Structure 1
Amino acid sequence: MRHALACAVALLALAGCKLDMKQQRKLNPYERTDLWPDGTAARPLPEGVVAQGDLARDAAAASPPPATPELLARGKAQYEIFCTPCHGTAGLGDGMIVQRGFPKPPSYHTQRLRAAPAAHFFDVISNGYGVMYGYGDRVAPQDRWAIVAYIRALQLTRAPALAEAGGGGRP
């Protein structure tokens, strides 16, 4: 009985409150205020603040996942969306935009890019390089690693013969 009475009193008290959420007091970011000594309503972020999702994104960017058929399929799909306009379907740097006058990117099949670590491609996709702008805000880290795996697969399609690469006749 006491519980029911307490609930009834609480409901009556809440019914008497005027909670008008549409007219809350608030400060706009560029408004002047006397609330803080510097007189601005915009407050700096506290030291050490991390945006939601940044730690997971950083962890995903830290190292490549193992190459699987699913990862390569995802990489191919993402490569076709983001990379083929400039790099072309075979990674030769002969995409449609290049055919229309845009500067030609290097072929993925050059010795320099064959020898480049996977992290180089991930960094270029993330931050851009030369005239290529970064895709870090458009392509998730997992998809960037998938694209890198697909680029490596493209490079294998035109790998020089073992004899040409100095591998001799040994398998």
Structure 2
Amino acid sequence: MKYGLLLLLSPLLLAACDDMNRQPRYDSYEKSTLFADGKALQAPPEGTIARDDPGEAAALAKRPAMTPELLKRGQERFGIYCAPCHDAGGYGNGIVPARGFPHPPSFHIDRLRNAPSRYFVDVITNGHGVMYSYADRISPSDRWAIAAYIRALQLSQNAVTSTLPPEDLGKLGAGS
């Protein structure tokens, strides 16, 4: 009985929730008391850029020179944006996949080791598979920095020992 009464009253309760159709609104160039300048139309916040901004496209097209600063910035950004899924070593065993999400590919597989750096920048920009785009979170210069850091990770895990200087070879021998 109570269930039937609730079922009959529910359309009346939902009809009472129509306040959203009668909200006050402003036209673009109308006067408004909401803001100090008295205008309804406000300028976008400082630093806002359009999605099709030619400056962003130019920044993506230009690969920066490899520097220690670029690698340090890439390591920092990788730790913030990439490590939760890809883990700090780039193997795809981060905390997010550990909680049931799909594992991303390891950066140390042949396919990604042989991919151009531009590939990583494009994946950060446009997303790939279940990874969504990070274009709204990561600036073009930081995308290149992350790609450079991924290259450093790949090199660190796949270095040929014959290319190491003698002092580094000695450190390897002392550790084993």
- Scaled by the length of structure 1, what TM-score is found? 0.64
Find the aligned partners of 1:70 and 1:98 in 2 and give their Cα distance: 30
Aligned twin of 2:20: none
Aligned twin of 2:96: 97
Aligned pairs (5 A) from 1:88-167 = 88-159=87-158, 161=160
Q: List gaps (5 residues or longer) in structure 2.
A: 1-25, 29-48, 163-176
Find the aligned partners of 1:155 and 1:76 in 2 and give their Cα distance: 13
Change (3 A) 1:97 1:52: closer
Q: Which has the larger radius of gyration?
A: 1
Aligned twin of 1:71: 70
Aligned pairs (5 A) from 1:12-51 = 28=27, 51=50
Q: Tell me the matched-pair count.
A: 118
- Scaled by the length of structure 2, what TM-score is found? 0.62
Tell me by how many angstroms 1:161 deviates: 3.0
Is 1:55 the counterpart of 2:35 in the alignment? no
Tell me by how many angstroms 1:159 deviates: 1.3
Letter in 2 for 1:96: I
Tell me by how many angstroms 1:63 deviates: 2.6
Find the aligned partners of 1:90 and 1:147 in 2 and give their Cα distance: 13
Runs of 4+ in 1 over 4 A off after TM superposition: 50-53
Find the aligned partners of 2:52 and 2:129 in 1 and give their Cα distance: 29
Aligned twin of 2:43: none
Letter in 2 for 1:149: A
- Describe the superposition over 1:3-27 as per-residue Cα deviations: whole angstroms up to 9, x where unpaired: xxxxxxxxxxxxxxxxxxxxxxxx9
Letter in 2 for 1:161: V
Identity of aligned residues (%): 52
Tell me by how many angstroms 1:59 deviates: 1.1
Root mean square deviation, CA, Å: 2.5
SS at match of 2:76: helix
